[in-house]
Amino acid sequence: MSALTLNGWIEQGGHRLSIPEIERLLQNHPDELSQCGGEFFLSRDTCSARDLYGIIEGTGPKGTILCNGKATGTITPTAPEMSLEAAIRTAVELRSNEGVVALSGGVDSALVAALARRECVAVGVEGSHDLKRAKVAAESLGLTCTFVTICEEEIAMALPVVVRTIPEKNPVNAGIALTLYFVARWAGEHGYRRIITGQGADELFGGYSRYLTTETLEEDLVRDFARLEAQVRRDQAVAALHGAYFSMPYMDFRVVRAARAIPAAEKVQGGRRKIPLRTVAERHIPPDLAGYEKKAMQYGSGVWATLRKLARKNGYKTSMQDYIDHISRVEHGH
């Protein structure tokens, strides 16, 4: 029997399992693997398993147990019903035994940072919105945070690598992935493998500005949550370049279950977004952080403006997509 290989981490009933505990579970109660949560790709011999939402990359579809190339089971974690606050606290606690928190200053990452109490890192161009807000958040929460300032030259050098790496090559994906590239680069250089983030909160709680005017909020949230799989694949591909991975407490099955139990109309109303999350956050972070409406990552970091500037410099004044396509062609030798 070959050795067990684990990327990420596994938990059962709120308890993180060590490698020896996983070995014993597989030997004595293999059927219980299907009830395990966490963020993992597990393999041994001709069998493998991936976590429910496919947070960790691996062979086979998300939430599936494979043996000899055939699906033999599904990953459907179990845990007692709990409030949204308890779910978030549990999700962060399970992930905060190691790693660094990616802090941008918005409610999503500020709440995670406050609960995790780990070192933080913030990335942006000089004078960017996210660096300023992250500094305010870190000081307010009493957390240690490294502020990584990136310049146009660094972004230009990283762009071909990012475009080559991400599955869907378009300007929005490139802008987000570039920001995360520098987060992961810092983490990798400082010995961190796990990067704890706030991804998933917008799709679960109604964080996008377009939700304020939609007449199909419930359907939009379901659709956008389904699209997270592609976003996770993009983000993890960039993190893997630096030997790291993004850990996502808001995509813990407990949090997803609690969030889905809240009617969409209670998440977005009266010009406010992510109301249930902000209500929880107010009990853990200062009101100005809990209520702050932050810009999207690619804008707040200043990377998007720099990307547009690079496109213009290279003769693509009207189409960012043409610039990304050009880079992709050059990367493929065309």
pLDDT greater than 70 at residue 138? yes
Is the CB of residue 162 less than 8 Å from the CB of residue 238?
yes
Alpha helices in the chain (DSSP H): 19-28, 84-95, 107-116, 129-141, 152-165, 171-189, 201-205, 217-226, 228-240, 253-260, 275-281, 287-290, 297-300, 303-313, 320-331
Q: How confident is the model at residue 318 (pLDDT cuts 50, 70, 90)?
A: confident
Beta-carbon count within 10 A of 81 CB: 10
Is the CB of residue 113 less than 8 Å from the CB of residue 120?
yes
The amino acid at residue 168 is: E
pLDDT greater than 60 at residue 86? yes
What are the φ and ψ backbone dihedral angles of 192, each rounded to 5 degrees? -95, 135
d(CA 56, CA 7): 7
Measure the N-to-C terminal CA separation of the chain; round to a whole number of Å.
47
Residue 181: which residues within 8 A CB-CB, separation 6 or more? 158, 161, 162, 238, 241, 242
Residues paired with 47 in a beta bridge: 44, 67
Of 181, 114, 170, 198, residue with least CA distance to 311:
170
Mean pLDDT in residue range 90-115: 97
* DSSP secondary structure letters along 288-328: HHHT--PPPHHHHTSHHHHHHHHHHHTT-SS-HHHHHHHHH
pLDDT number for residue 1: 54
Is the CB of residue 176 less than 8 Å from the CB of residue 300?
no
Residue 298: which residues within 8 A CB-CB, separation 6 or more? 172, 175, 176, 178, 179, 304, 307
pLDDT, tens digit (0-9, with 9 covering 90-100), for 47-76: 999 999 999 999 889 999 999 999 999 999
pLDDT greater than 60 at residue 334? no
pLDDT number for residue 38: 98
pLDDT, tens digit (0-9, with 9 covering 90-100), for 188-233: 999 999 999 999 999 999 999 999 999 999 999 999 999 999 999 9
Model pTM? 0.94
CB-side neighbour CA atoms (13 Å) of 209: 4
pLDDT greater than 90 at residue 2? no
Please tell me which residue, 332 or 66, carries the higher pLDDT value. 66
